Amino acid sequence: MAAAADAARAAQLREEIARLDHHYYVLDQPLVPDAEYDRLYQELAALEALHPELIAPDSPTQRVAGAPAAQFQPLRHAVPMLSIRTETDHSEGGAVNFDQRVRRQLELDADAPAVEYLAELKFDGLAVNLRYEQGRLVSAATRGDGETGEDITANVRTLRGIPLRLHGTAGDVLEVRGEVLLYRADFERLNARMRGAGEKEFVNPRNAAAGSLRQLNAAVTAQRPLKFFAYGLGEVSGWALPPTQAGVLEALSACGLPVCAEHRLCRGAAELAQFHAEVGARRAALPFDIDGVVYKVNQIALQQRLGYVTREPRWAVAHKYPPQEAVTRVLDIEVQVGRTGAVTPVARLAPVFVGGATVTNATLHNEDEIRRKDVKIGDWVSVRRAGDVIPEVVATLTHRRDGSERAFIMPEQCPVCGSAVVRSADEAVARCTGGLFCPAQRKQALLHFASRRAMDIEGLGDKLVEQLVDAAVVATPADIYKLGLLALANLERMAEKSAANVLAAIAASRHTTLARFIYALGIRNVGETTAKDLARHFGKLDALMDADAERLQQVPDVGPVVAQSIAQFFGEPHNREVVEQLRAAGVQWEEHEPSALPGPGPLAGKTFVLTGTLPNLERERAKALIEAAGGKVSGSVSKKTHYVVAGADAGSKLAKAQELALHVLDEAGLLALLGVQETK
């Protein structure tokens, strides 16, 4: 028999772990470091091992329990899971249609006040029903045919964002409906893992979420970072039903359930359309996929008056966005030569409307990618375009093959200049060896040179560069500064006025900064940030040009690969000549003395991220101390971060650090590392 003290301690641990889970998974505000969480969990597990009678069904140790099932059991829904009417008019008309229907059915006059709605996201995941009895999770089911779903209780219990026990008084029966989904970043990580294990990858986050949830072995589900958002109710008894949908979401959140914060009360069609447009514009930036927004009449009393038609409520509608994925055919696979000579295969597609635009090309990245996705010329493929990203082939519908498909072969010669195409063993991309002899590379290099973040020459775009290179008027960036009105105005489709504008932009670009100039040179592996670091560090172009690889690596964030690219670039007499010509053409910037070399310092090469409020040290003071010891302070947490220093109210950065299993320090830990003792 368990001693009373052990039983009490076990109950206390269960509650504390549930509280930590809620903060971590639902509120996104971790309270303690992982190590502390693990310690509590281990203590509970040890107590339960000692006294098995203490194991409660809602113990966090029981999230994964029981043997894998042979098949899913059917589970009949107490209240059917309905579907929702879809408004296919992607413009604001969708909102207007819905509002008009609602007003007509409620028999509202034209001058009656606007109807109040709650606008939510339409999550692109899987609908599930969670059943709580006396506040405890007793079962979970998929939607199935709406009448009967599959019993996925064991799987759903492994989702740590779903409370096994509700907070507060949760009534006799409370059925919660919502969506299970995967964040895109988690989906990418999962696919990388599948790839590493030689297993088949998932096509999109929705399929991955479905595949992860519908696992006969719930231990597999437990490994997948599935998320849940609650948005509605099923059977309810002995629970005070709020009078509005907004109130329902609030009440669910108060019960400890995750509710997405992206919802808005709207009055009338115009505000609905506004929400639709705003969310649509941010769609690609959301961490998960949505396929539209959902409008719900906010007052539950009005919902009841409106009722249902067949299996759809009259009080709700899904207002969709144009699909981000569509199916089309690969007409051909060609290659494109980029600025650094990268030879990229591109699928030429039968035109298809996706992500709000007609797409005719999609990148295939490289040969390995083509092999992995098994894309052949003539194949049917699904294509994805989200936001501003380049359209991409997601998957091949191999079942639609008829045998006429042809494999892609990487050309051995550059299709533009005829130079050899080679692929080094450590790279995924093949490259044209033509360098600036290759017109394709030359055009891209010039475009990069003139681009907004480089020399910022407005008007020197695609078409103009194409003509200038083809007419052999411009070969190197220095030639740009030799252009005259005559040469430009002689080009096809170039009016004298626009020629004068381009010349003015060229003239203005002569005054620049060292950082822009370095970036504009288009040195491989030197992006905007590195260019800024180099400019700050060396102060003078000559100092940079004469630095060897070892000297270059003293610049923060410059490793052997980047150092090698820079040294190689300036080792090329041709590149030095172009730089001299540019200087001779009057391109200029301010210079300063090179910054003193930092001594190696005890924290040299270590990257820190500071988050939250430290008890004594001001943020700036902590930063200065780290930098004085040779360390670097960065604003965002990544795999490359060495230490995260967390204080009070640390938020998502700490969560990320824990997810990546990074070293997390408190103030005392940081001071110990610095070998300082400092008090305020």
Catalog residues that contact ligand IVH under the rule CB under 6 A.
82-84, 120-123, 127, 143, 179, 231-232, 294, 313, 316
- What stretch of H or E contains 326? strand 325-337
Q: Residue 396's CB: how many other CB atoms inside 10 A?
A: 19
Cβ atoms 94, 276 nearer than 8 A? yes
Residue nearest to ligand IVH (CB): 127
Q: Nearest 5°: CA angle at 201, between 199 and 206?
A: 140
As measured in angstroms, the least distance from the Cβ of 122 to ligand IVH is: 4
State which residue, 124 or 367, has the beta carbon closest to ligand IVH: 124
Q: What is the nearest approach in angstroms of ligand IVH to the Cβ of residue 234? A: 10
| Residue spans of beta strands (DSSP E) within 369-429 | 380-384, 392-396, 421-422
Rounded-to-integer distance, Cα 608 and Cα 591, Å: 30
Q: Is 122 an active-site residue?
A: yes
Using the minimum distance from each CB to ligand IVH, give the nearer residue, 248 or 436. 248
Q: Edge-to-edge strands of the sheet including 126-133?
A: 136-142, 126-133, 173-181, 227-237
Looking only at the bridges linking them, the beta strands covering 85-87 and 316-320 are parallel
Supply the minimum distance, in Å, between the C-beta of residue 73 and ligand IVH. Answer: 21
Of the pair 149, 477, the CB lying nearest ligand IVH is at 149
Residue with structure tokens 């020629």? 499
Give the residue with the Cβ less far from ligand IVH, 75 or 547: 75
Shortest Å, Cβ 314 to ligand IVH: 10
Residue closer to ligand IVH (CB basis): 314 or 551: 314
Q: How far is the CB of 159 from ligand IVH (least distance, A)?
A: 16
Report the 10 Å Cβ neighbour count for 444: 20
CB of 248 vs ligand IVH, minimal distance in Å: 11
Nearer to ligand IVH, 82 or 377 (CB): 82
Q: CA angle, corner 164, sides to 158 and 166, nearest 5?
A: 145
558, two tokens: 């410059």
The CA-CA-CA angle for residues 331, 360, 456, to 5°, reads 135
Torsion sign across C-alpha atoms 79, 81, 82, 84: positive
In angstroms, the CA 316 to CA 102 distance is: 9
Residue nearer to ligand IVH on the CB measure, 293 or 521: 293
Least Cβ distance, residue 272 to ligand IVH (angstroms): 14
Out of 122, 227, 443, 656, the active site residue is: 122
Contacts of 179 (CB under 8 A, 6+ apart): 123, 125, 126, 127, 128, 228, 229, 231
Active site residues: 122
